[in-house]
């Protein structure tokens, strides 16, 4: 390998590493001072809770996901404050419906709507911003995921009511200790640079369903 080619590889590798590091730090900073898990008294009245999607069980082993269980517990805790007027369960259709079922089983009586088109965090955030432009939105997931949702919500480009859009908040679930929790954390490390790329390239949603539509009332 020539010295010139070696230098090019080193420069490219360094730039990629810098992009990954800066993207993660930038998105992580979006959550500073905006997570209400330890300050429930600061939760706004009549907020909208958006529970971000995850499979309940591992596809290969069928084992219950600890991350899923902890997200449901966090959402239920938030609803028990009496300050949530509506819950949105957002993910794939099966995820959205299962999360709603588990919330009801946990004793949550707050009205629930399903977002079966929250195929990516970007989709969940854009739809929530379009449907609830004047509302305070609180995202529930693990902290590393909440930071990404908050960062994306700050950069909504197609929201006609952006001037009136309330700054989103989060209520983080516990991280957990199972191996998949660490896998999800590493996956989010890669998802953060992807979020920056999406933003730079126009932040297009995954589905063809308009961001102002798609919610379904849960029984």
Q: Residue 140: pLDDT above 70?
A: yes
What is the secondary structure of 160-208 as a DSSP string? TTGGGPPPPEE-PBP--SSHHHHHHHHHHHHHHHHHHHHHHTT---SSS
Strand, helix or coil for residue 89: strand
How far apart CA 87 and CA 75 sit, in angstroms, is: 9
φ, ψ for residue 179 (rounded to 5)?
A: -55, -35
Counting beta carbons within 10 angstroms of the beta carbon of residue 16, is it exposed (0 to 12), middle (13 to 18) or buried (19 or more)? exposed
Is it the case that residue 157 has pLDDT exceeding 60? no
Percent of the chain clearing pLDDT 70 (strictly above)? 95
Mean pLDDT of the chain: 89
- Sign, CA torsion 192/198/200/203: negative
**Predicted local distance difference test score (pLDDT) of residue 165:** 52
Nearest to 94 by CA among 142, 63, 59, 141: 59
**Neighbour count for residue 4 (Cβ, 10 Å):** 8
What's residue 164's pLDDT? 46
Q: Indicate the DSSP class of residue 91.
A: S
pLDDT score recorded for residue 1: 64
Q: Which residue has the higher pLDDT, 36 or 205?
A: 36
According to DSSP, the β-strands at 216-217 and 112-115 are antiparallel
Taking 50 as the threshold, does the pLDDT of residue 65 lie above it? Answer: yes
Select the more confidently predicted residue: 140 or 2: 140
pLDDT digits (tens, 9 = 90+) for 112-126: 999 999 999 999 999
Q: Band the pLDDT of 161: cuts 50, 70, 90.
A: very low
Tens of pLDDT, residue by residue over 37-61, are 989 889 999 999 999 999 999 877 8
Residue 218: pLDDT over 90 = yes
Q: What is the mean pLDDT of residues 62-66?
A: 87
Which one, of 142, 111, 157, lies nearest residue 35 by Cα? 142
pLDDT band at 7 (very low <50, low <70, confident <90, very high): confident
What is the pLDDT at residue 166? 63
Mean pLDDT value of segment 71-79: 97
User: In terms of residues, how long is the chain?
Assistant: 219
pLDDT confidence of residue 211: 85
Domains of the chain: 37-217 (3.40.50)
Q: pLDDT confidence of 163, banded at 50, 70, 90?
A: very low
Q: CA-to-CA distance for 215 and 219, rounded, in angstroms? A: 13
Highest mean pLDDT among 49-63, 93-107, 157-171: 93-107
């Amino acid at each position: 390998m020539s010295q010139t080619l070696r230098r090019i590889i080193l420069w490219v590798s360094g730039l990629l590493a810098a992009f990954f590091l800066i993207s993660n730090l930038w998105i992580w900073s979006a959550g500073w001072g905006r997570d209400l898990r330890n300050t429930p008294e600061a939760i706004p009245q009549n907020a909208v809770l958006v529970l971000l999607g995850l499979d309940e069980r591992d596809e290969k082993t069928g084992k219950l996901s600890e991350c899923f269980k902890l997200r449901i517990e966090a959402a239920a805790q938030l609803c028990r404050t009496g300050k949530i007027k509506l819950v949105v369960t957002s993910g794939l259709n099966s995820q959205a419906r299962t999360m709603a079922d588990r919330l009801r089983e946990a004793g949550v009586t707050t009205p629930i709507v399903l977002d079966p088109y929250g195929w990516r965090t970007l989709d969940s955030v854009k739809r929530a911003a379009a449907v609830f432009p004047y509302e305070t939105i609180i995202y529930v997931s693990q902290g590393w995921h909440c930071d990404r949702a908050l960062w994306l919500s700050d950069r909504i480009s197609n929201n006609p009511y952006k001037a009136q859009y309330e700054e989103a908040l989060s209520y983080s679930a516990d991280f957990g200790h199972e191996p998949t929790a660490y896998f999800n954390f590493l996956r989010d490390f890669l998802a953060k640079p992807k979020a920056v790329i999406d933003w730079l390239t126009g932040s297009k949603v995954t589905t063809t369903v308009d961001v102002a539509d798609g919610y379904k009332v849960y029984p």
